[in-house]
A and B are shown apart, each in its own frame.
Chain A
Amino acid sequence: MNEAVIATRGLTRDFVRRTRSGRLLRDRTVVRAVDELTVTISAGESVGYIGANGAGKSTTIKMLVGILVPTAGEVRTCGLDPLRQRRQLAHEVGVVFGQRSQLWWDLPVRESFSILAAIHRLARARAREREAELVEHLEMADYLDTPGRQLSLGQRMRAEVAAALLHTPRLVILDEPTIGLDVLSKQRLRDFLLAERRVHGTTLLLTTHDMGDIERLCDRVLVVDHGRLAYQGSLDGLARTVGAERVLTVDLAEPVADLTDVPRTRHLGSEGNGIRQRLAFDAEATTAGSVLAEVGRRAEIRDLTIEEPDIEDVVRRIYQSQR
């Protein structure tokens, strides 16, 4: 059952950049966008693919779906060769590029959907049923008759997702799906993707800069840096690998001196003469419970919050440790 939906081995892509030097001569520089990437993603998984701009995320995606020819290495998507079997693969994969549109700008959204249904050769009844499902879950009913060019960003993004998922693909790849969306639209889109996965067992691969996307949607992350895989595993594991700290904030009953002597913690600061104090600790070295117990011995705790490590910070640390 756990077949690989995406399998790459040593996947590499170079770009040749030519820059003018002198009157006739041109310099030829090879830029390696993806460097010997070896990953496997199983059916039903949801994987976040993260990295800085220009780290090679889009290039990887384009090789997975047969847009770009790899310079070296192997790639199989849904068990198919994306180059030789691109058209067959198109029936299995749905791709949302945040910056590209699948919709016809001068046609009502509804018409774009019927064209796409014809393109994927969906039977009338099947297409109608699926369209109704998507319209309901993505709350698109009130703008189905609006031409593509008049949609707001949030509306367009939902319509793009529906367009890519109309043929119920086994694998859905989303490139920056929530970019520029407000909190509510993001939430709606994430809820939809979760439901889609639950109902259809869809495999998800998404690139994003939004760590909320990763936290809500993904059970595994791949971190890519300069075309190389810098980390793969769970999100917690990522935080652990780079030793990100959790932060405990305590509100105390009365002002006390700075709590600099709590074992295995670092005092970050105090407010209101020491009524509120912030302590950082490594989840590997100690537990929230024992830190609290230590603090409780020194003063009466009235309230507390624990902040999880900031994922963007974690990723930044990965980059730094690789240099």
Chain B
Amino acid sequence: MAESLAPALDQGAGMPPTRLAAYRAVLSSRIRAQRSYRANFYTDLAGSFLIGFIELAEVWILFHNVHALGGLTFRNILLVFGIADLAFSVAQMVFGHVDRMPTFLRAGTLDVFYLRPQPVLLQVITSEIGLRRLARALVGLGSLAVGLSLNQIHWSWANAVLLLVTILSATAVHSAMLVWAGGVQFFLVNGAEMTNAFVYGGRYAATQVASVWSAPLKVLFGFVFPMAVTAYVPALHLLGLPGPAWLPTWLAWWTPVFALWMWGLALFTWRQGIRHYQGGGG
């Protein structure tokens, strides 16, 4: 569209701002606000980095005691951890505040979003941006880089594309998890405990070796909330290792489909929630 091709024009006095201007205005104000409390921001960054680092250390300690788990060594698992944590951190950065829905619902903040001419979900998503999560994404990225260099990977175009598609799809899956959890909050009072089990449990599952899971767990985090296919299965594919029962490595190419499924579920849940909304009292 012409409006996106000419960003300078919407600064003109006579032209109405574009559709995107609303989101841009909110987001840039959020970034300014975070930067204006510098000390606070740096502490947040450090805290976020530490959390990512501890998650990684946990994996390292586990593998320090066993040489291999489910057929994977520490080097191999760095690749899984890297993809999963990078995707999760980016999703958290952009969509993370959707998990403030219980507060929005209780305080009636959501009512205000209904009064504005944008989709409520997009407003919730763009109401904040968690820049501090960049630090944690960095841990994921570092782990991924080390994993890629330490492992024997046959670099073909196909594998390079697979890696890129995997990272994008994995980010989409984790983002959709957050939106799904936000949608569920409309129906539950203080439902965050329940959904956190899936969102944060899902993140944990995504960094793990899925071959050691029991069948029900494989169904839950392999297909319903498709965590295993966001990092573990593609990593196996890149490493040229065989997949365990139920999770063949050709599924690695199916991550975008799983991302679509997860977004479908998320948007459906959200839509039902919006309809179900009871108003924030008062």
Q: Report which A residues bind B (CB closer than 8 A).
A: 15, 58-59, 62, 65-69, 86-88, 90-91, 93, 95, 97, 99-102, 104, 106-107, 111, 114-115, 117-125
> Do B282 and A67 touch across chains, with their CB atoms under 8 A apart?
no
> Do B111 and A62 touch across chains, with their CB atoms under 8 A apart?
yes
> Do B115 and A65 touch across chains, with their CB atoms under 8 A apart?
yes
Would you give the shortest CB distance from A58 to chain B, in whole angstroms? Answer: 6
Q: B13, B15, B19, B116: which contacts A90 (Cβ < 8 A)?
A: B116
Across the two chains, which residue of chain A brings its CB closest to B274? A69
Q: A87, A104, A118: which contacts B21 (Cβ < 8 A)?
A: A118
Cα of A231 to Cα of B114 in the assembled complex, Å: 30
Across the two chains, which residue of chain B brings its CB closest to A33? B279
Q: List 9 tightest A-B contacts by C-beta distance, closest first.
A: A118-B25, A90-B117, A125-B13, A119-B22, A87-B117, A67-B114, A118-B21, A115-B25, A124-B13
Q: Contacts A67-B277, A118-B17: A93 and B29 contacting too (C-beta < 8 A)?
A: no
- Residue among A97, A102, A118 having the largest count of chain B Cβ atoms under 10 Å: A118
Would you give 7 A-B contacts (Cβ < 8 Å), ordered by A?
Answer: A65-B114, A65-B115, A69-B277, A90-B117, A102-B115, A121-B117, A123-B16
Q: Is B242 an interface residue (CB 8 A)?
A: no
Given A87-B118, A88-B117, A119-B26, 17 extra CB contacts under 8 A = A59-B279, A68-B277, A90-B115, A97-B112, A97-B282, A99-B282, A111-B29, A115-B22, A115-B26, A118-B17, A118-B21, A118-B24, A119-B118, A120-B117, A122-B16, A124-B11, A125-B14
> Do B19 and A102 touch across chains, with their CB atoms under 8 A apart?
no
Q: Contacts A68-B277, A97-B282, A114-B25: A102 and B117 contacting too (C-beta < 8 A)?
A: no
With a cutoff of 8 Å between Cβ atoms, the chain B residues found around residue A100 in the complex are 108-109, 111-112, 280, 282
Cα of A35 to Cα of B281 in the assembled complex, Å: 18
> Do A107 and B118 touch across chains, with their CB atoms under 8 A apart?
no
With a cutoff of 8 Å between Cβ atoms, the chain B residues found around residue A118 in the complex are 17, 21-22, 24-25
**B-side binding surface: helix, strand, loop or mixed?**
loop
Q: Is B12 an interface residue (CB 8 A)?
A: yes
> Do B29 and A107 touch across chains, with their CB atoms under 8 A apart?
yes
Q: Is B278 an interface residue (CB 8 A)?
A: yes
Q: A59, A87, A88, A102: which contacts B112 (Cβ < 8 A)?
A: A102
* Chain B count of residues within 8 A CB distance of the other chain: 32
Q: Report which B residues bind A (CB closer than 8 A).
A: 11-19, 21-22, 24-26, 29, 33, 108-109, 111-112, 114-119, 275, 277-280, 282
> Do A122 and B17 touch across chains, with their CB atoms under 8 A apart?
yes
With a cutoff of 8 Å between Cβ atoms, the chain A residues found around residue B33 in the complex are 106-107
Cα of A87 to Cα of B118 in the assembled complex, Å: 6
Across the two chains, which residue of chain B brings its CB closest to A128? B13
Cα of A104 to Cα of B11 in the assembled complex, Å: 23
- Residue among B14, B18, B29 having the largest count of chain A Cβ atoms under 10 Å: B29
With a cutoff of 8 Å between Cβ atoms, the chain B residues found around residue A107 in the complex are 29, 33
Across the two chains, which residue of chain B brings its CB closest to A175? B282
Across the two chains, which residue of chain B brings its CB closest to A104? B29
> Do B29 and A124 touch across chains, with their CB atoms under 8 A apart?
no
With a cutoff of 8 Å between Cβ atoms, the chain B residues found around residue A88 in the complex are 117
Q: Contacts A88-B117, A106-B33, A121-B17: A68 and B26 contacting too (C-beta < 8 A)?
A: no
> Do B114 and A86 touch across chains, with their CB atoms under 8 A apart?
yes
> Do B117 and A101 touch across chains, with their CB atoms under 8 A apart?
no
With a cutoff of 8 Å between Cβ atoms, the chain A residues found around residue B109 in the complex are 100
Cα of A121 to Cα of B118 in the assembled complex, Å: 11
> Do B278 and A15 touch across chains, with their CB atoms under 8 A apart?
yes
With a cutoff of 8 Å between Cβ atoms, the chain A residues found around residue B280 in the complex are 100
Would you give the shortest CB distance from B110 to chain A, in whole angstroms? Answer: 8
> Do A69 and B275 touch across chains, with their CB atoms under 8 A apart?
yes
With a cutoff of 8 Å between Cβ atoms, the chain B residues found around residue A123 in the complex are 13-17
> Do A68 and B279 touch across chains, with their CB atoms under 8 A apart?
yes
Across the two chains, which residue of chain B brings its CB closest to A120? B117
Cα of A79 to Cα of B23 in the assembled complex, Å: 28
With a cutoff of 8 Å between Cβ atoms, the chain B residues found around residue A68 in the complex are 277-279
Would you give the shortest CB distance from A188 to chain B, in whole angstroms? Answer: 24
Cα of A117 to Cα of B13 in the assembled complex, Å: 13
> Do A67 and B111 touch across chains, with their CB atoms under 8 A apart?
yes
Across the two chains, which residue of chain B brings its CB closest to A97? B111
Across the two chains, which residue of chain B brings its CB closest to A147? B33
Cα of A102 to Cα of B119 in the assembled complex, Å: 16
Would you give the shortest CB distance from B224 to chain A, in whole angstroms? Answer: 27
With a cutoff of 8 Å between Cβ atoms, the chain A residues found around residue B111 in the complex are 62, 67, 97, 100
Would you give the shortest CB distance from B16 to chain A, in whole angstroms? Answer: 5
Would you give the shortest CB distance from A150 to chain B, in whole angstroms? Answer: 15
Cα of A218 to Cα of B8 in the assembled complex, Å: 46
Q: Contacts A69-B275, A97-B282, A100-B111: A87 and B16 contacting too (C-beta < 8 A)?
A: no
Cα of A66 to Cα of B117 in the assembled complex, Å: 11
> Do B117 and A119 touch across chains, with their CB atoms under 8 A apart?
yes
With a cutoff of 8 Å between Cβ atoms, the chain A residues found around residue B15 in the complex are 123-124
> Do A101 and B279 touch across chains, with their CB atoms under 8 A apart?
no
Q: B12, B115, B277: which contacts A93 (Cβ < 8 A)?
A: B115
Cα of A192 to Cα of B205 in the assembled complex, Å: 58
With a cutoff of 8 Å between Cβ atoms, the chain A residues found around residue B119 in the complex are 87
Across the two chains, which residue of chain B brings its CB closest to A123? B16
With a cutoff of 8 Å between Cβ atoms, the chain A residues found around residue B12 in the complex are 124
With a cutoff of 8 Å between Cβ atoms, the chain A residues found around residue B18 in the complex are 121
